[in-house]
Amino acid sequence: MANMTLTKTPMPEQDPNVRNHNFQEVALGYTAEMAMEEAKRCLQCKKPKCVEGCPVNIHIPEFIAKVAEGDFQAAYEIVTSTNALPALSGRVCPQESQCESKCVRGVKGEPVAIGRLERFVADWYRENVNAMPEKPESNGIKVAVVGSGPAGLTCAAELDKKGYEVTIFEALHRAGGVLVYGIPEFRLPKAIVANEVRKLEAMGVTVMTDMVIGKVLSIDELFDEMGFKAVFVGSGAGLPMFMHIPGEALRGVYSANEYLTRINLMKAYRDDYDTPIKSDAKRIAVIGGGNVAMDAARCAKRMGAEEVYIVYRRSEKELPARLEEIHHAKEEGIIFKTLSNPIEVLGDENGYVKGMVCQEMELGEPDASGRRRPVAKEGCTFTLDVDCMIMSIGTSPNPLIRSTTPGLETNKHGCIITNGDDGLTTREGVYA
Ligand code: SF4
């Protein structure tokens, strides 16, 4: 019988005042009973809108029906028939703007917790079965995948299933891309990413780390000297943007990318690692309002800062981060300073950050993005006493690949241009 409760079955979490001192996962996942109870909220729609909202069109009602029956193995097989990485997407996909935003149960009440169920199914499989997949029969055609983030791993898995001989080239010393250097352990445990990479290797995918394509090897060399017949570029957007304000080069100013990489990939929070980071910072400002800013702020709190601010130039309503991340950040004690924009970083006599001057903002007319444009409130500034700043105002693709690959065209943001249908770029044999 359907469960007509209007709200999602809650998922247990660590207490906010405990978790803001550790890096263990915040959300603890459903038990089998909770998952079955939540699965019974699904109405098994004949024309399921949720599937239209899913970028990889997971057969959502079918897998949820199996969860409701308690047949978790069958549910896992249905999910993985279209999604290679359910343990990851169940945790970090923005379901509230994708599948769950379309769920009919959301018309009156909360939608079915599709993401939590996807995560449950993947975790159940990993904890109870975790069989390594078989290696498919090879068609003898070599394909290179540049980057081992979500795009690279997914592309490699799909091509491998079709019989291609896939090699992933990763620039860093560990595979996973943004999943390991960007997203913190408390949102996505790295052991889960490593397990997904191990499964790919069992399927026959070769993973080569410390391989910066554009430096160690060019895309031309992948074709001409290594015999690859196609290259997929999934190298992400790892080049941080800065504000270009006075004092930005002072000691104690980080890009969010660098700060998160030191903590997540290079384990600066662990005593058994020597990764340098400004660990004595007590008042930290994170500039920006996206998911990366929330991750950086929540990491800063866990690193021991007493006060951590999110400084954002629009109002709270316009924060681009997922609602869940904003909610978690607030619960953990992050202070939101909205309608504020840094205009100068102040330094002490040794060149370290000692504060920043902010301009108060107000919202004007909507800009091209449809959001109301922040405009300076004349004569209204204030100084925030901080000893560390983390810039999280966006990233763009690293120019290395486009600058070393003749014929590969990019747009004004530096993103590789594709035909949109199958990802083919302006360079023959190169996809993105
Ligand atoms: Fe179930 Fe909601 Fe999808 Fe309908 S739209 S099938 S209720 S998850």
In Å, what is the CA distance from 392 to each residue of 63, 66, 256, 321?
Answer: 37, 41, 5, 12
Q: How far away, in angstroms, is 60 Cα from ligand 1 center?
A: 7
Per-residue tokens: 426: 């302006």
430 beta partners: 231
In Å, what is the CA distance from 188 to each residue of 55, 87, 119, 304, 324?
Answer: 20, 9, 11, 21, 14
Any ligand 1 atom below 6 A from CB of 99: no
* pLDDT tens, residue order, the chain (432 aa): 789 999 999 999 999 999 999 999 999 999 999 999 999 999 999 999 999 999 999 999 999 999 999 999 999 999 999 998 999 999 999 999 999 999 999 999 999 999 999 999 999 999 999 998 889 999 999 999 999 999 999 999 999 999 999 999 999 999 999 999 999 999 999 999 999 999 999 999 999 999 999 999 999 999 999 999 999 999 999 899 999 999 999 999 999 999 999 999 999 999 999 999 888 899 999 999 999 999 999 999 999 999 999 999 999 999 999 998 999 999 999 999 999 999 999 999 999 999 999 999 999 998 887 888 999 999 999 999 999 999 999 999 988 999 999 999 999 989 999 987 789 999 999 999
Whose C-alpha lies nearest to ligand 1, atom 5?
Answer: 103
Q: Phi and psi dihedrals of 219, rounded to 5?
A: -65, -35
* DSSP percent split of the chain into helix, strand, coil, nearest 5: 35, 20, 45
Any ligand 1 atom below 6 A from CB of 60: yes
Contact 53, 100 (CB under 8 A): yes
Ligand 1 atom with the smallest distance to the CA of 111 is 2
Per-residue tokens: 327: 């909610």
Any ligand 1 atom below 6 A from CB of 59: no
Per-residue tokens: 30: 């459903």
Cα 39 to chain center, whole Å?
Answer: 26
Q: How far away, in angstroms, is 340 Cα from ligand 1 center?
A: 40
Number of C-beta neighbours around residue 231 at 10 A = 23
* Among 5, 52, 110, 112, residue to substitute to test ligand 1 (most atoms within 8 Å of Cβ): 112
Q: What is the DSSP string of 42-69?
A: ----SS-HHHHTSTT---HHHHHHHHHH
Whose C-alpha lies nearest to ligand 1, atom 2?
Answer: 103
Ligand 1 atom with the smallest distance to the CA of 106 is 2
* Among 3, 104, 117, 121, residue to substitute to test ligand 1 (most atoms within 8 Å of Cβ): 104
Whose C-alpha lies nearest to ligand 1, atom 4?
Answer: 45
Q: What does DSSP assign to residue 418?
A: B
Question: So what's the pLDDT on residue 175?
Answer: 96
Contact 148, 177 (CB under 8 A): yes
User: How many CA atoms within 13 Å lie on the side-chain side of 325?
Assistant: 28
Question: So what's the pLDDT on residue 372?
Answer: 86
Torsion of CA 93, 98, 102, 106, to 10 degrees: 40
Contact 125, 76 (CB under 8 A): yes
Name the pTM for this structure.
Answer: 0.92
* Nearest partner of 261 among 238, 281, 279, 242, judged by Cα: 238
Ligand 1 atom with the smallest distance to the CA of 44 is 6
Longest dimension (CA), the chain: 70
Task: Give the DSSP H/E element, type plus range, for residue 144.
Answer: strand 142-146
Q: How far away, in angstroms, is 103 Cα from ligand 1 center?
A: 5
Whose C-alpha lies nearest to ligand 1, atom 1?
Answer: 42
Name 342's Cβ contacts closer than 8 Å, sequence gap at least 6. 243, 245, 285, 287, 311, 356, 357, 358, 359, 389
Contact 369, 273 (CB under 8 A): no
Any ligand 1 atom below 6 A from CB of 27: no
Any ligand 1 atom below 6 A from CB of 53: no
Any ligand 1 atom below 6 A from CB of 49: yes
Contact 372, 318 (CB under 8 A): yes
Provide Rg for the chain, Cα atoms: 23
Residue whose tokens read 């090897």? 217
What is the rounded CA–CA span in Å between residue 432 and residue 145? 9
